Amino acid sequence: MNSELKPSESARGSLPEASGLSGKLGLRLKLARQTKGMTLKSLAEAAGCSESLLSKIENNKASPSLPMLHRLVGALETNIGRMFDEVDGEEGIVFRAGQRPLITLDPLRQGDGVTLERVIPYSAGHLLQCNIHHIDAGGSSAGPIRHVGEEVGYVVAGEVELIVDERSFHLREGDSFAFQSERPHHYRNTGTRRASIFWVNTPPTF
């Protein structure tokens, strides 16, 4: 497996400055930690990061990598969706094109990064979570990550490499996949144009 696909535990290659979603992330993590009665030290140890880095994240001076954020919300017994403000569409049924929330990951070493387009804006009432993963040419996800659940995806456009349990799968437009989320997984765009994956998982984790 290519070493450049390994996740960063620093602010580089991490979660979002875009869409106005990141400003409340630190505060929400802090409130969730305090609600659980956890200290900075205990949460940092549970998430496998330093206490100083966690303090910076809570004060919006650094952003966690996606794998780290998964570990943080896991230790807090919540999920990533609860860390962001999102509003349901018309009666929570219709979500218009061009009006769906976007979460843009910071640029990674190999490309311009990944944008998640919410098909189902986060709501505590949803059992499913669905995003369209838009991956620019040369971009890749932070990973590998693993968590509870099951997921399925359909390549809407472009070409991607999906890595599950260190097995590599070359997928093109029209290909689909499904796997248990406990298996380490990540992906990258192997084509020359933007790729898009319609991705569904349950329970909601991001």
Q: What is the CATH number of the domain that holds 17?
A: 1.10.260.40
Three-class SS state of 12: coil
Are residues 53 and 131 both part of a single domain?
A: no
**Pairwise CA distance, residues 202 & 65, whole Å:** 21
> Do 21 and 68 fall within a single domain?
yes
Same domain, 68 and 111: no
Question: Residue 6: what pLDDT?
Answer: 30
Answer yes or no: do 107 and 139 share one domain.
yes
Q: What letter would DSSP give residue 24?
A: G
pLDDT averaged per 10 residues in sequence order, the chain, 206 residues: 33 39 73 85 93 91 84 87 61 78 59 79 73 92 85 97 96 97 94 96 78
Q: Are residues 69 and 116 in the same domain?
A: no
Residue 60 Cα distances to 1, 17, 38, 64, 178, angstroms: 33, 10, 19, 10, 35
Of 176, 173, 169, 178, the residue nearest 201 (C-alpha):
178
Q: 53 and 122 share a domain?
A: no
pTM: 0.62
Based on the fold, state whether residues 30 and 110 are members of the same structural domain.
no
CA torsion through residues 188, 157, 69, 75, sign:
negative
> Are 142 and 74 in the same domain?
no
Residues 120 and 37 in one domain: no
Please give the pLDDT value at position 17.
40
Asked whether residue 123 falls in the same domain as residue 194, the answer is yes
The distance from CA 174 to its chain's CA centroid, rounded to whole angstroms, is 23
How many other C-beta atoms lie within 10 A of the C-beta of residue 97?
Answer: 6
Domain count, the chain: 2
